[in-house]
Each structure stands twice: as C-alpha cells, then as structure tokens.
Amino acid sequence: MKFLLFLAVSLLITDISLAMYHYNFNRRHISSPLQDYAPYLKISFVPLMAWIWHLISPSHSKWIYLYAFFAWGGDTFLLSKSFDVYKYGGVSFFLSHVMMIIYLNIKWSKVPLKAYFLMIPGIILITIYLIPQMVNPSLQSFCFISYALILVIGSCNAIARWSILKFSNPSFLCCVFGYWFYLISDSVLLKKEIVGASRNLDCEVMGTYFMAQILIFIGIAIDPLQNQQRQQQNADKEKKE
C-alpha cells in the first residue's frame, strides 16, 4: 500500500510539473516541447488524484467515483476548442459537482448561521460579478451560467459541512479551500471564454484547478465521518458473525 501511494504521488507530481512547464510556454507564446503530450498530461490528472483518494480513504463511496469520472470527462471534452464539443465538458463537470453535492448530503436545517456568512464571497463572485458578464441570448451563455451556479452551490455545500465538522477540521478546510480555488479557476476560464483575455491564462486556470482537485480529493479522503462509517460497518459484521 505504501509503495502504491508513493508511486501515485510521484506520478501526480510529475504530471502537474510537466503540465505547468507546458502552460508556461503557452503563457509566453512560445512553442512548447510538450505540445504533443499536453492533452495526456491534462486527462491523466484526475485519474491519478482519484487513485490517491482510493488508496488513503477508509471507505469508497460510489459518488466520489462518479465525481472523478465526470471530472475526467470534463477535462477530456474541454481539450476541444469547438463549443459543439466542449459544451459536453461543461455538462460533465456540472454532473461531477452534482455527484459531490449528493455525497455531502447536507442537512440544511442544521447548518449554523455563521456558515452562511462564509458562503457570501463565493455567491457575490458568481452572481454579481461573473454572471452579468455572461448574459446573452445564446446556448453558450446558458451553459456557462448553469455551470457557474452549480459550482457556487457546490462550494456552499462544502461550507455547510460546518454543521457536522469543526471549522479547524482538516477535511472541512480542504474541501472549502478546494471549492474556492475551483471558483477562482473557473471564473477566470468562463470570463476568458465570454469576454476574452489579452494574454494566455493557462497557468492561472490550470494551476488553481489542480489545487482545487487536490484539496477536494484529500478533504474527502480524510473525512472523519468515513472512519466512523467504516467502524460501524466493521462492528455490524462482527455482530452478524
């Protein structure tokens, strides 16, 4: 197990390092020596991160497998520059956040008031700053706005775990900061697609995306509730025996 974890982490570090090396060339508008391999670097990231989650998590929810699958699908479809293709990437990422929301299974009646205050920055970023820039009568605008909304809903669900975990809990903090990095990454990406950008933003978009996924997967892997569920399952098995 330790060897597999070491291997997975080593491959992940190599993958991210090479990807960021490639994106740095794009940023300077210089031909990258990794141009032909860049798509493989991008689509191998989520499977590697999911593998690490599988190795360190005490339990393995089908919803997290589905989250990883749809996130991988999103990365794959977004390799295309054509909206006719990459719109399916948006749909796939949308579904990945739905899977995470289902997994978190928040009981909103128990969410403390202070958690709602923590949700305000993300809501303002998406609904007041980003969405007004994307409003126009087009399918592209509808897709972008729908995705922006599910993303902020996902971040609110991560914050709502304050109802069951302490603010200082590493799992809680990882998921919250993970979704905040997600908000930053996709806000930059969506604005670039709608408004355009004067320079290449691959480093900013992908750097924050990598950090977002790492924190979310780690946050779920170290979720203390999973340990409790695993212990309960083991106790139930012992009773049956």
Domain ranges of the chain: 59-227
Spatial distance between the Cα atoms of 96 and 172, rounded to a whole number of angstroms: 19
pLDDT per residue rounded down to tens, the chain (241 residues): 789 999 999 999 999 999 999 999 988 888 899 999 999 999 999 999 999 999 999 889 999 999 999 999 999 999 998 888 988 999 999 999 999 999 999 999 999 999 999 999 999 988 888 888 777 888 888 888 899 999 999 999 999 999 999 999 999 999 999 999 999 998 888 877 776 767 788 899 999 999 999 999 999 999 987 766 666 655 555 566 5
Give 119's contacts (C-beta < 8 A, 6+ positions apart).
Answer: 155, 156, 159, 160
Which pair of structure tokens corresponds to residue 40? 């493989």
Question: pTM for the complete prediction?
Answer: 0.91
Whether residue 183 contacts residue 151, with contact meaning beta carbons closer than 8 Å, is answered with yes
